[in-house]
Copies of this chain bind each other. A is one copy, B any other.
């Protein structure tokens, strides 16, 4: 945030005070788990106004803590964003794999499609969270290894799935690596078009979005599948 559009944090949890002895210590000097709370607050801010809407001070405010406190847990705003990205990526991966678990095991191309669809659905449903896990502006690759690893494993998963599909003769001959990159570019691009507000210009309204997502995914898969009129 560039200082312009930052609301004055309307809602504080009515921070109580006093502590010590044995009274129902309402305001302990040490916050229970500030790190966790800060990540949640930041995650919420992301959900409200995108990654730009995250400020350390506002997160501290929502946690009911002084502006300097977060720096005990995160050396910089970027570090906080890294942690946020890590959390978002964890959720992303969890949902993808959950959906994949329901897909039939004996149809690799179908599973490939399922992966793409799960990817698109999550991205459409959580655009702001998707944004921060996709832009490498956060988490420096070196730090935040969790994100990279989760992501890398997801990529490996699709790669294996695609290779299986090819091995079972479901694909036309092609450079599998390029197919994989093209597929990624397709779903990533679609998700990004949503985030970046391209859809209105393309006549894709909110309700159509998911249907369109499915449509372009099937179009792509038809393009790489062996029999042009089979897998859709």
A: residues with CB less than 8 A from B are 2, 4, 52, 76-77, 134-137, 141, 148, 151-152, 155, 172, 174-175, 177-179, 181-182, 184-190, 192-193, 196-198, 200-204, 212, 215-216, 219-220, 222-224, 228
A215 (CB) vs chain B CBs: closest residue: B178
List the B side residues contacting A181 at CB < 8 Å: 190, 202, 204, 212, 216
Copies per assembly: 2
Q: Are A178 and B212 in contact, with the CB atoms below 8 A?
A: yes
Q: Are A185 and B182 in contact, with the CB atoms below 8 A?
A: no
Please pick, from B152, B155, B175, B197, the residue contacting A136 in the complex, using a CB distance under 8 A: B197
List the B side residues contacting A223 at CB < 8 Å: 219-220, 222-224
Please pick, from B52, B177, B216, the residue contacting A182 in the complex, using a CB distance under 8 A: B216
Query: What distance in Å separates the Cβ of A83 from its nearest Cβ neighbour in chain B?
Result: 17
Q: Are A189 and B196 in contact, with the CB atoms below 8 A?
A: no
Top 5 nearest A-B pairs by Cβ distance? A223-B223, A189-B189, A136-B197, A185-B189, A182-B216
Please pick, from B2, B148, B186, the residue contacting A185 in the complex, using a CB distance under 8 A: B186
Given A135-B197, A152-B201, A178-B216, 19 new contacts (CB under 8 A): A4-B77, A137-B196, A141-B200, A172-B228, A174-B219, A175-B215, A177-B203, A179-B219, A181-B204, A181-B216, A184-B193, A185-B185, A188-B189, A188-B198, A189-B192, A219-B223, A220-B223, A223-B223, A228-B228
